[in-house]
Every structure is written in C-alpha cells, then in structure tokens.
A and B are shown apart, each in its own frame.
Chain A
Amino acid sequence: MVENKLDGNAAAGILQEIFPFEMTLAQVTCVGCGTNNMIGATAAYLQAMGTIVRCPRCDTVLIRVAHIRGNYLLDMRGVRVLQIKEG
C-alpha cells in the first residue's frame, strides 16, 4: 500500500471541524520521543477511515481522528500534551 505522506497542514481541515483554533500552530509533545512539534510540521496521512498524524522525528502516531456517522472520534494517546495558543 502506497503511503501518502503529507504535511500536518493536510490535517488542519478536520481538526478545525473540532477545535475552534488555528491547529497547525498547536504544539504536540510526543509520548514516543518527547519532542515538541507544531502540528504543521508533523506528517499527516489522509485515509478513507480518517486522518493520522505522526511525529516527524520518531513516527509515533500522535493523533487519529475520524468523522463517522455524526461522531468525531479522536485518539490522542500519542500526545502527552497538546498546547494551543488562544487567538
């Protein structure tokens, strides 16, 4: 299966359906390697089932988000801390 790796920008659409903030600038701390990255700088994979955001350093899955039958499903077990700047 060909992996279609995009930049975190590609996850902005679905994240902004959920969070009323500029999410590409939000920072995520990876549970795998501990590094801090802006979501815009992570790797995003858009699949039919949902969007996956991976750490650019160690490839750990940071976020899985899906929108299925009227529900948003958000798995953020790969993120230790999500930091969002207001405004």
Chain B
Amino acid sequence: MERGTLLGRLSWQLGEVAATKPETARTKSITLDLPGWKGHRAGQHVDVRLTAEDGYQAERSYSIASPSEEAPRVTLTVERLDDGEVSPYLTEELRVGDKLELRGPIGGYFVWEAQMGGPLLLVAGGSGIVPLMAMLRHRAVAASTVATRLLYSSRSLEDVIYRDEIEQRMKSSTMLEVVQTLTRAHPPGWTGYSRRIDLQMLREVAWPVEQHPLTFICGPTPFVETAAARLVELGHEPARIRTERFGPTGENHGRK
C-alpha cells in the first residue's frame, strides 16, 4: 500500500508472538510476526483485543516500540498495571507461539520521521518512553543526524525502560543527548536530576525557542500536561508540541 492512496478501514489481524523480553520488573517487550503488515511510522500505536471464553472483549492501545524497518515484525513494550485488564495477560501469560489480535498502525499525528527534521525534543514519563524510543530507533536506522534531546523521567533506575540501549545510543550517536530524572529514588553519585519535571528543568534541557524545535511528549496525563504547559510558558510554539497522554495513571487507554 503506497502513500497517496486511501488508507482503507482498519481491520483486525492475528499476529504470532515471536519473542518476549523483560525490560524492567514491570515491563516486557513483545515481538509479533504480522504477515501483511505494511509498515508504520514511529510514534504510531496498535489496538490489542483480548476475547475471553464467554465472549467478553477488552481493547487497549499500545505504542509500537520498533522502527518500521523491522516489518513484518512489530514490537510492543507493555507495562503491567496491577488492576489492568489486558496488561497482566500480556506481560505474564503470553508465550512465544501464542496468537494476539490487533489492528493498526493508528495515528498520524503523533509521528516523527527523519525528513521532518528538528531539532527534536523528546520528553518521556515512565512508559511514555515507548513511542519516543520507536522514534530514536527509526532515527538510527535512517542514519539521521537531526539534533535530538531526550528528557526521560522515571521513578528509579530500576524503572528505566531500555536503560542499556539508551546508554549505548547516547555513546554511539554524536547528535543525541539524553537527560534523565529519577523522581523517587536515585543511586549515590547520581548526576542526573532527581525531581519531577518543572519549569527550571525544562529551561535547562529544552532547545532555545529560536531554534523552533519539534517536541513530542508522552506519558501519564499529569506529566504531559505539566511538560506542555511549561514549554509553552518558556515561549515554545504550541503547534510544534505534540502530546500523547496515556491516561491519569499512565494506563494505556482503551475501551471495552
């Protein structure tokens, strides 16, 4: 399906779990084989649907973590929510070889492609790192040198998703800077921030307003709203700030 033609209405498809990988104590990456997957853009999501034996269905949206270049393999990174309806199944029950019903890719608004340029500011809260990681992975595959800064807020070092990969990308990419903040606990000798994002932190980390950066913010709703409001206060153009709220507690949104 080439660009410039009708998208076609979304339809459900069955994918097969090819691999699973724990990222942190509560998050797991799930790689699916999706025959017929035509690719996607970094930042898009899929809807996953579980059907119980009695016919009860639950749907949730999950951001795609992998770059499009890995199609027809698609990776989702899911955080297990204690009272979740779908995430406990995905993170604890799903096994390699199992089938999963999903549809996508969805959403052309919260998307970054290398040709969109920058400089790029990515602001992630908790599991909000997932779509932004897809952007970083795409950026690497596209060998893009767009100046990029990632501000990533997590509760503690153990909650940092993709920790090793982020460190490795920081070292191997000259135009990529990563700044972290740990809000609940930090190790001795920690050189990053150790508080929730606020005006001063964003003033220090964000690109100068005159450079007209493109900004993507993703995470729990209060986090996203704080970051977006503070950036606008600093003078950044609202039209160049794109947000993806995950919901009040960070629960991946969906409808029954």
Q: Are B3 and A9 in contact (CB under 8 A)?
A: no
Please count how many residues in chain A sit with their CB below 8 Å of the partner chain's CB atoms: 30
| Distance of B153 from chain A, by nearest CB (Å) | 18
Contact status of A24 and B247, CB under 8 A, knowing A18-B9, A46-B255, A48-B255: no
| Distance of A41 from chain B, by nearest CB (Å) | 7
Q: Does B103 contact A (CB under 8 A)?
A: yes
Main secondary structure of the interface of B (DSSP, over half): loop
Nearest B residue (CB) for A56: B238
Contact status of A17 and B10, CB under 8 A, knowing A10-B61, A48-B256: yes
| Distance of A53 from chain B, by nearest CB (Å) | 13
> When each residue 7-25 of chain A gets 1 if its CB lies under 8 Å from chain B and 0 otherwise, what string results?
1111011101111111011
> When each residue 6-50 of chain B gets 1 if its CB lies under 8 Å from chain A and 0 otherwise, what string results?
111110000000000000000000000000000000000101000
Residue of A5, A6, A20 with most partner-chain B CB within 10 A: A6
**A-B contacts, CB under 8 A, total:** 80
* Complex: A48 Cα to B10 Cα, angstroms: 20
Nearest A residue (CB) for B43: A9
Nearest A residue (CB) for B224: A7
Query: Which B residues are CB-close (under 8 A) to A22?
Result: 7, 108
Contact status of A40 and B109, CB under 8 A, knowing A5-B245, A6-B247, A13-B47: yes
Query: Which A residues are CB-close (under 8 A) to B109?
Result: 7-9, 12, 24-25, 38-41
Q: Are B255 and A47 in contact (CB under 8 A)?
A: yes
Q: Are B253 and A40 in contact (CB under 8 A)?
A: no
Extra pairs beyond A4-B248, A40-B109, A87-B4 (8, CB < 8 Å) = A4-B247, A9-B106, A17-B9, A20-B6, A24-B107, A25-B108, A40-B242, A46-B255
Interface residues of B (CB under 8 A from A): 3-10, 45, 47, 61, 103, 106-110, 221, 242-248, 253-256
In the complex, the 7 A-B pairs of residues with the closest C-beta atoms, listed nearest first: A40-B109, A24-B109, A87-B4, A22-B108, A9-B107, A16-B10, A12-B107
